[in-house]
Structure formats: structure tokens, C-alpha cells
Structure 1
Amino acid sequence: MSNIEHVKIRHRGMYWDIAADIYFPPNFDDSKKYPTIVVAHPIGSCKEQTSGEIYSAQLAEQGFVTLAFDASFQGESGGEPRSTEDPTLRVEDFRHVADYLVTLPYVDAERIGLIGMCGGGGYAINAVMTERRYKAVATITGANYGRVLREAEGSVHAVIAKLEQIGAQRTAEARGEDYLVDPGLPSSLEEAAEWGITDVDILGATEYYKTDRGAKPNGVNLTLRSRQSVAYGWDAFHLAEELLTQPLMVIVGDIPGGFGAYRDGHEIIRRARSEKKELVVIKDWSHYDLYDKDEPVAQAMAKLTPFFTNNL
């Protein structure tokens, strides 16, 4: 069989399908049971980018079955309106993916792990607190999306003003006006320079998503304005001191940027109740370097492989 299988997972609670790619290890034997790792993509990304073509593919080479999926409302997955980024629904996706995996004869249901990347890392942390079928969790430059949004506004007064705007936009749409979609990034590095952007994370994201380096048709980096209110009031790490007990690995680059993954990584390691937890700091590399650049990815893989081998 091919080393990749494209599947559709029925989202049983919401009546649409989640699109996913399953990566198989070399010499795969469907009569055996394998430890399996789900890899969640960053916000604005898709399964064909770093979560699938880099980390899922490389972990499969190490003997794991891996699955990269498109979030609901995004990529090839179903759900309307498109480009909805709702943390509660993103977390619910993990439960439906687990429902699917435990039906596959070659998946060892007692050895399922989870990796989340960037905003997907915050979602993964939040999900495993209450979805105990995931036995170990890792994040790669993981970020707490609620904190990112709140900090971007600059003050609590600005956050409240944004929520008022979101409410007004939702009212307008309910009365028949068009959806308002926010672009997540400058359209090019040249536009970023024109805007005077110097932050390493925004520049890294623009290079990854808006050039041939990482651009894919479904990696659109668009967010529906009227569906953002939940995220402004959401905290990925809520109750981590009580409910986050699975083995945990947090991987960050040591060049911090505006998205705050470096700080978030230190915070969740400090707060997690997990007895087994490790913070891995990749020296001299930044957030988006960990998406696809050979050296930092190799350093991350050198940690991820034994972590999941030992904990699944």
C-alpha cells in the first residue's frame, strides 16, 4: 500500500467530515498494532504543510503511524462558515480524531500520542486535559491563542472594544451582510517591509506561508471576524495544574518573537501537573525555523522520537 492514505473522518457531533492524511511506517503490516501520533497544524495552516509533510512524515519513518488533519472549517475539512477559528471546536476535533483511530485495527488504542504546532500546540495542551485517550503530548513552538489575541490588542479596554466590533459584525451578517474575513499576515515580504514590520515571527510566518518555501493552496491564514469572540476569552492552559498529567514535551526555539511561544513554553512546563515533563530549547533558531528547516527539525526529531517511544 502507499505510505500515505487520505481519509475522511465523520465529525459525529456536527455532521461534516474531517479530512486527514495517515502516514505509515516502512514495512507496514496491517495485521500488527502500532503506536500512533496525531499531529495538529498551526492556526491558518493545513495538513499538507509542516504538520504533515515534515513531522508526520518523519515520525512515520521512525516506526509510528501518524495522522495529520485539517481543522474543521478549514482546508479540506467540512464546516461552515469557512475560516472559523474557534478554540472550543478545534479542541473537539481531537476527540473525533481519537474516535476514528480507535476503530482502526492497526492502531494500538492504548498508545496514541498528540503533537500540536504553534496555535495547535495550545489546542493540544487543552485537549489532553479532558481527552484521556491521548497518552502523551508534545508541542512544537506551541502558543496560547487566547493570550496571543488579547496581547495583540494591547489593553483590556482594547479587547473589550474588539469584542464590541465582533458583536456588531455578527449582527450585520445575521441581517444579510457579507462575512468579514481578516488576513492573518502581510501578502508578501515586500508588503511587510512597507508596513515597517520587524518582528521575527511575523516575518517568518510571511516567508513560510506567502512564498514557495511553505505555501499550499489550503494554508490560507484567514480568520472570520464574527467568530473570534470565543478565542478572546479562552485560555489554553486553564486547569493545567490539576488536569494536565500526561507525559509532556515542549519544544521552542530560543529566539523569541511576537507570538510568544517561548514564554508560553516555559509557562506550561511550570504549571503542568505532569510528573514527566521536559522543556527543549533549540538554540539559535526561531518559531518558523522549526516548521521546516533541516537543522532545527532534526534537533526536534531527536527529542520527539525517544519521547514517544518511551511514553507510548
Structure 2
Amino acid sequence: MNNSFTIQTVRYPNLGWDIAADLYLPAGFDQTKKYPAIVSTHPIGSCKEQTAGNIYAKGLAEAGFVVLVHDASFQGASGGMPRFIEDPSIRVSDIRFAVDYLQSQPFVDADRIGAIGVCGGGAYTVHAAITDHRIKALVSITGVNYGRLIREGFAQFKPRELAVGIAQMRMAQAQGGPRDAANLLPESVEAAREAGITDIDVLEATEYYKTARGQQPNGATSQLMSFSGAAMGWDAFLYAEVLLTQPLMVVIGDKPGGFGAYRDGWEIYSRAASANKRIIVAEGWSHYDLYDKPEPVAIAMAQMVPFFQDNL
């Protein structure tokens, strides 16, 4: 309970399992009224209690919006087996089911639904909006195109070799081998530095996810890599030049890192067919600063709130 918003935990059906979500409701919420609503999608390896929820959903609820933050299928408190699958098409489908849920609620104005996402969730939100025009306006917060990232960073720029490795893992598991989820991050910043890692995104991700700053029980930072083949041929921005016509806001920091949010932000801003589009560059701030640091978050919220007020 909070004086400026309340949170209700809800569950609703997805393809063949249930989704766990938190519904952020504004102060003075009145079930007999109609509210604009927003779907908030968490990063890869994250959960609904982290930045998409406790930072951005909270801020938007305080501004008067109903916000739904869901755990991805196969992750967090949501259903789906095996665990820790990160499949872009299903992650995008999760957003569509979140819109379904909001449109089923009598207190939501079904024609005034927006969407935001953070990191991988930002690019998933873009992809969802390209083909689901029930989403009337969207914001990508330091969004990362996961298809590009897995072909480049995850594959160390050797995507064909990674594809072979994924095939070998999947075959071994099909023949009875264990399904081991890989931890996407070092155990600590110190361990990362000892391993010779210098990339700002890896170091700051570790500092966020592996310390009290951002750590949550369901923020597992784990992935079943044998099921990652679906991401290899995926592009978050496919057909954006043709179909992404809704109002779009892109928020990025100007300190580039290995995950590529800076370049992806400028790419989708350039490619989107939206007549109403803008890019906000938080100068002096990085990808993970935009997760929870008060100053860059304030930069994002100061633009995002009036953007949704104007377009929902």
C-alpha cells in the first residue's frame, strides 16, 4: 500500500499457462471510472519487481495511469515449461496478452492503451506495436534489439558458430541430457574485473542485478541457451518503416556499452514510420543508470508522462 498508488497481484491466461502480473493503480482509484492504461515489459533476465515495475510503473501510476507489469512466460512467477526460455516471439506475444487483459477490465479505456519496455523489453515493445495497433503510443527505454545482440555480443560476432552450438545443446537435451540454464552475468563486479571484463554494460548490469541495488528473488539473469535459436533470426525492428505508425518515444543514455542500446535507439528512431516520434538522450548517463538512478529516470519521466497524456 502506498498513498500515491496501490499494487494488485493478478494472474491471467496466456497460450497454455498463466501469467503473473502486478497491476499498479493510481491514488484515488475508482473502479467505476475509465483510465488510460500502459503495459510495462521488463528486461531480459529481469522480473516485474525490478525497473519496469518499481521504477517506471510506479512513476506512471503516480501520474494517474493504470499500469500492468507482467513476468515473462517461463520466467519469474509466470507459468510455462521449461524454465528460463527467452524467445522473442513469445515475449512479444506476452505483451499482446497483457493488452488483452487490460481491455477486459471495466476500468480501462480499451482505446487508450500504451506500452513501455526497458532494455530487451523496450525492443519487444517496439516489435509488438509494429503489428498490434491496439497499442496507441509507446516508449522504449534504453531498448536493445535482442536478435542483433545475440548475433553479435552473445555470439562474439560468430553467429554461425553459435547456431551450431545451440543445435548441439538442443540435440544433447533431446537425447536425455540436462537442461542447464546459463547465468548471463558474472557473480560480482570483482569477479568480472578479475576475468578481464571492461565493458560498461556488463559491469553495470552485474552491479545492478547482483547487489542489493536491484536484486530480486525472481530476477534470475538466467537463460536456457539451448532454446535461443529462435532469437538468432529475429529482428525487433522488422517492418518498422511500414507498420510502426503510432507515436513513439525513445529514451537512451549517451554512454554507449556493449549491449547496444545507444545504436539501437537511433536506429529505431530513424526507421519508424511514426509521424510523431522523438528521441530523448540523457546526457552523461548509461544504459543501467536509466534502470533506477534518480536523475536519468527523472529525465525520462519528465518526457514520458506528458507524452502519454497527449497521446492516450
Give the TM-score range, shorter chain: over 0.9
Taking the aligned partners of 1:124 and 1:277, their CA distance within structure 2 comes to 15
Q: Match for residue 76 of structure 2? A: 75
Aligned amino acid, residue 71 of structure 1: A
Q: Match for residue 90 of structure 1? A: 91
Taking the aligned partners of 1:249 and 1:309, their CA distance within structure 2 comes to 13
Q: Structure 1-normalised TM-score?
A: 0.97
Q: Match for residue 25 of structure 1? A: 26
Q: Match for residue 123 of structure 2? A: 122
1:175 CA drift (Å): 1.1
1:161 CA drift (Å): 1.4
Taking the aligned partners of 1:89 and 1:126, their CA distance within structure 2 comes to 11
1:280 CA drift (Å): 0.2
Is the counterpart of residue 245 in structure 1 residue 245 in structure 2?
Answer: yes
Q: What CA deviation, in whole Å up to 9, does each residue of 1:100-123 have, x standing for no partner?
A: 111101000000000011001111
1:226 CA drift (Å): 1.1
Q: What CA deviation, in whole Å up to 9, does each residue of 1:30-52 have, x standing for no partner?
A: 10000001110000000000011
Taking the aligned partners of 2:211 and 2:244, their CA distance within structure 1 comes to 37
1:304 CA drift (Å): 0.4
Q: Match for residue 227 of structure 1? A: 227
Between the two proteins, the alignment pairs up a number of residues equal to: 308
Q: Percent identity?
A: 57
Q: Match for residue 259 of structure 2? A: 259
Aligned amino acid, residue 85 of structure 1: E
Taking the aligned partners of 1:238 and 1:103, their CA distance within structure 2 comes to 29
Which runs of 5 or more residues in structure 1 are unaligned?
A: none
Q: Match for residue 142 of structure 1? A: 143
What SS is found at the alignment partner of 1:21? Answer: strand
Taking the aligned partners of 1:118 and 1:60, their CA distance within structure 2 comes to 20
1:154 CA drift (Å): 3.7
Aligned amino acid, residue 202 of structure 1: V
Q: Structure 2-normalised TM-score?
A: 0.97
Taking the aligned partners of 2:28 and 2:181, their CA distance within structure 1 comes to 45
Q: What CA deviation, in whole Å up to 9, does each residue of 1:229-249 have, x standing for no partner?
A: 011111001100001000000
Q: Match for residue 49 of structure 1? A: 50
Taking the aligned partners of 1:77 and 1:208, their CA distance within structure 2 comes to 23
Aligned amino acid, residue 94 of structure 1: I
Q: Which segments of structure 1 move beyond 3 Å, counting only runs of 4 or more? A: none
Taking the aligned partners of 2:272 and 2:168, their CA distance within structure 1 comes to 38
Taking the aligned partners of 2:244 and 2:212, their CA distance within structure 1 comes to 38
Q: What CA deviation, in whole Å up to 9, does each residue of 1:242-261 have, x standing for no partner?
A: 01000000000011111110
Which runs of 5 or more residues in structure 2 are unaligned?
A: none
Taking the aligned partners of 1:282 and 1:162, their CA distance within structure 2 comes to 34
Q: Match for residue 6 of structure 1? A: 9
Taking the aligned partners of 2:183 and 2:137, their CA distance within structure 1 comes to 34
Q: Match for residue 162 of structure 1? A: 162
What SS is found at the alignment partner of 2:135? Answer: coil
Q: Match for residue 302 of structure 2? A: 302
Q: CA RMSD in A?
A: 1.0
1:198 CA drift (Å): 1.2
